Structure 1
Amino acid sequence: MATITHLSQRTPTVSVDDLLAGFHPSYRFGEVSFETYRPDPAWPTQAEAVTKLRNFASTIGKSKGGFLSNLFGKKKAEKSGMYLDGGFGVGKTHLLASLWHLAPGRKAFGTFVEYTNLVGALSFRQTVEVLSTYSLVCIDEFELDDPGDTVLMSRLMRELSDAGVKIAATSNTLPGALGEGRFAAVDFQREIKVLSEQFDVHRVDGVDFRHRGLPDAPTPLEDDAIEEYAMARYGEKTYAVDEFAELVAHISKVHPSRYRALLAETDVLVLHNVETITEQAVALRFVVLADRLYDKDVPIVASGKPFSELFTPEMMAGGYQKKYFRAVSRLTALAREAQTGEPGQ
């Protein structure tokens, strides 16, 4: 029998342990490995990345040393982190998740946004204290939209590195070029320089999804038919059924660190009357929700406007365009999966 819930009526309580338990590769990368990664022979840097990451994995979990060894010992020759640069779709997340699965000890895997949300939920100092006990911290898709967040993450990574934690990150911009042409603040530039010096940088070449454009959004269904359609297609599942406006208003009151818990019992999302989001702060919250929906592979059955019109043209062309592009692409994939049976990619 189908179960109907409403996300707009749920306000999950998440403990510190629950938050940290969510820092692992998503469902899509839950069982990947270096063996399942298929390097393209046309791009040798893909196979080279596997070799480098395997070698890096062998250094994880070694003795961190103490104050005296740090004071009188020899300066470490190796970098404290690995940084994979490359476009969309070249396998960086697969590689990063493979490293996480292989590495020994306590470890964390999350997106840049998830770590900034963790700091917001715990405080900077408590986040440092907790993650300093880990052997590896993986940061997927380092983002550069906000200089404050980037400075925060640079500080976090520097303190974790000083504590002996190994760090691996991915992005689409080399760390030495982070913020180039975007932010001129002296403090920001100084943090970026420190950040770039922490990593052994490896470029992963390949076909870049950014040149493929957004997938075609399916035509939204008639509003009075979407619930019946969803249940006929998916049967006995747990459905979150919400008015779009109510859901948007609700997530504005729920900390993004709780969005994973918000969706914990949701198999299918049914959205009535999707509208264009016009407020940037609300739009950025919805981007985070889209990421969590995609991580969990939740099909979306919706009415109203197609997800290609979810954000204003100004947003899609502005400083956060990478985030909005990703959200539209992911939501569209989940909607296509629900309406056509094509798996979200």
Structure 2
Amino acid sequence: MATVAHLATRTPKVSVDDLLAGLHPSPRFGAVSFESYRPDPAQPSQAAAVKSLRDFGTSMDGAGGGGLFSRFFGGNKAKGRAGIYLDGGFGVGKTHLLASLWHSAPGPKAFGTFVEYTNLVGALSFRKTVEALSSYRLVCIDEFELDDPGDTVLMSRLMRELADAGVKLAATSNTLPGALGEGRFAAVDFQREIQVLAEQFDVVRIDGDDYRHRGLPAAPAPLKTEELDARMNAEFDGGVVAVDDFGALMKHLAGVHPSRYRQLIDGIDGIVWKDVHTIEEQAVALRFVVLADRLYDKDVPILASGVPFDQLFTAEMMGGGYLKKYFRAVSRLTALAREGQAHEPS
């Protein structure tokens, strides 16, 4: 039998120290390396990206602090920019490579998603975040994406100040740095901040297909609600399973800051969602994307009834300014559903 828990009743408390201590690769990428990355021979940009990141990591050896800001803003640019930026589609291994860089680089160092850094600023204040991260040698930012003008200005300032302190920067995204913010808000009004971000990175393109769908079948059909208990005990016997009504969980997430979602799923071995429905409110959808990322980070299998995951978001959302976030969430949740129902690795 599985032990049943409910995410909708959890309200985790997270300290500032917990937030800082959590800036490392998730368990999914806890032991990856450049050697364990398998470039697709048909996509030479993948092998080239490995070399670029290795060289970037090597350039950190013996690098001192301070002054990098002046080097890439009007100084000796021959010494290289402060950052490297991996641009590519979903599932081509960008996070694997970014985590490999983090594992190989000297510390102190930080690794987190874009959302985790913005949450850190919210918890610490901007100035204290700069003070905390300025002593690091490397800051890795996964899934770099600007969704509103406030984030544009915030991350522009943060990157400039960290670079000025001599911190090396590495980021991944599905959008070239000069195009961040396009389709989400009046990016032209914030072109200066966007350009500052673009100028701080050497861009490395990674081509390839989404490995989560490479040669794999479509997502399994949702289960019937009355089947969930039996399947849960068969799939997660002896484990701890978070069983929630999907609608109730969506309401609960509104009262839990996304910075706490990692702790929200602590100790959970499996997820069961009853009566999944299409999310129609943007704020609810964006919160849910963060939860999907945290579940994928921890490789938590999912069983669900209701609509299939490719119907989680409205057609308008899937064609709007946040479409990349939603496509990523669908891709990741589909992989976890395959794992839960068909025992396919995610």
Normalised TM-score (structure 2): 0.90
**SS, match of residue 167 in structure 1:** strand
* 8 A Cα contact 2:90 2:328, kept in partner: no
Contact 1:143 1:150 in 2 (8 A): no
In structure 2, the partner of 1:11 is 11
Q: 1:214 to 1:174 in 2, by over 3 A?
A: farther
Say if 1:215 and 1:329, in contact at 8 Å, map to a contact too: no
Deviation at 1:332, TM superposition (A): 1.8
How big is each residue's C-alpha offset from its partner over 1:181-225, in whole Å with a ceiling of 9 and x where there is no partner?
664455510011111111122222334679989973322222122
Query: Which residue does 1:239 correspond to in 2?
Result: 241
Once the two structures are TM-superposed, the CA of residue 96 in structure 1 deviates from its matched residue by 0.8
Superposed CA offset, 1:212-260 (max 9, x none): 8997332222212212211112210011111111111111100000000
Decide whether aligned partners of structure 1 residues 213 and 251 sit closer, same or farther in structure 2, where only a CA change above 3 A counts: farther
Change (3 A) 1:263 1:182: closer
Maintained 8 Å contact 2:181/2:187: no
1:305 is the counterpart of 2:321 = no
Instruction: Read off the aligned partner of 2:83 and give its amino acid letter.
Output: G
Structure 1 residues 137 and 66, CA gap change in structure 2 (3 angstroms):
closer
Aligned to 1:227: 229
Report the Cα offset of residue 25 of structure 1: 1.5
AA aligned opposite 1:56: F
Relative to structure 1, is the Cα distance of residues 89 and 271 closer, same or farther in structure 2, using a 3 angstrom cutoff? closer
Counterpart of 1:59 in structure 2 is: 59
Would the aligned equivalents of 1:90 and 1:204 in 2 still touch at CA under 8 Å? yes
Cα distance, 1:103 vs structure 2 = 0.4
Q: Distance in 2 between matches of 1:190 and 1:214?
A: 43
CA RMSD of aligned residues (A): 2.5
In structure 2, relative to structure 1, the CA distance for the partners of 1:130 and 1:302 (3 Å cut) is same
The superposition leaves residues 23-43 of structure 1 with CA deviations (integer Å, 9 ceiling, x where unpaired) of 212222111111112223333
The offset of 1:22, in angstroms, is: 1.8
Q: Which amino acid aligns with 1:270?
A: V
CA 1:78–1:90 in 2, change beyond 3 Å: closer, same or farther? same
- Which residue in the other structure is 1:150 paired with? 152
Residue type at the aligned position of 1:161? A
Task: Identify if the C-alpha distance between structure 1 residues 275 and 211 changes in structure 2 by more than 3 Å, giving closer, same or farther.
Answer: closer
Would the alpha carbon gap of residues 269 and 211 (structure 1) be closer, same or farther in structure 2, given more than 3 Å must change?
closer
In the alignment, what sits opposite 2:286? Answer: 284
User: Which of the residues 93, 97, 101 maps onto 1:91?
Assistant: 93
Distance 1:152 1:213, change over 3 A: farther
CA–CA separation in structure 1 for the residues paired with 2:47 and 2:214? 24
Match of 1:31 in 2: 31
Secondary structure of the residue aligned to 1:219 is coil
**C-alpha separation in 2, matches of 1:66 and 1:89:** 35
Contact 1:87-1:210 within 8 A present in 2 as well = no
Asked if structure 1 preserves the Cα contact closer than 8 Å seen for 2:67 and 2:164, the reply is no
The separation in 1 between residues aligned to 2:223 and 2:8, in whole angstroms, is 21
- Aligned partner of 1:2 in structure 2 is 2
Query: Which shifted more, 181-190 or 301-310?
Result: 181-190
Distance 1:212 1:52, change over 3 A: closer
**Cα contact 2:89–2:209 (8 A) shared by 1:** yes
Taking the TM superposition and a 5 Å limit, the aligned residue runs for 1:266-345 are: 266-344=268-346
Report the identity percentage: 72
Name the CA shift for 1:109/1:301 in 2 (closer, same or farther; >3 Å). same
Q: 1:197 is matched with which residue?
A: 199
| Corresponding residue of 1:117 | 119
Q: For the residues of structure 1 that align with 2:234 and 2:327, how far apart are their CA atoms?
A: 31
Structure 1 unaligned spans of 5+:
none
- What SS is found at the alignment partner of 2:140? strand
- Cα 1:276–1:161 shift into 2, 3 Å: same
Match of 1:41 in 2: 41
Q: Distance in 1 between matches of 2:321 and 2:154?
A: 19
Which deviates further from its counterpart, 296-305 or 35-44? 35-44
Amino acid at match of 1:63: G
Partner of residue 260, structure 1: 262
List aligned pairs for 1:71-90, cutoff 5 A.
75=76, 77-90=79-92
> What corresponds to 1:128 in structure 2?
130
Contact 2:66–2:164 (CA<8 Å) still a contact in 1?
A: no
Q: Letter of the 1:5 partner, please give it.
A: A
2:81 aligned counterpart, secondary structure: coil
**Cα distance in 1 for residues equivalent to 2:273 and 2:185:** 38
AA at the equivalent of 2:6: H
SS across alignment from 1:49? helix
- The 3-state SS of whatever aligns with 1:339 is helix
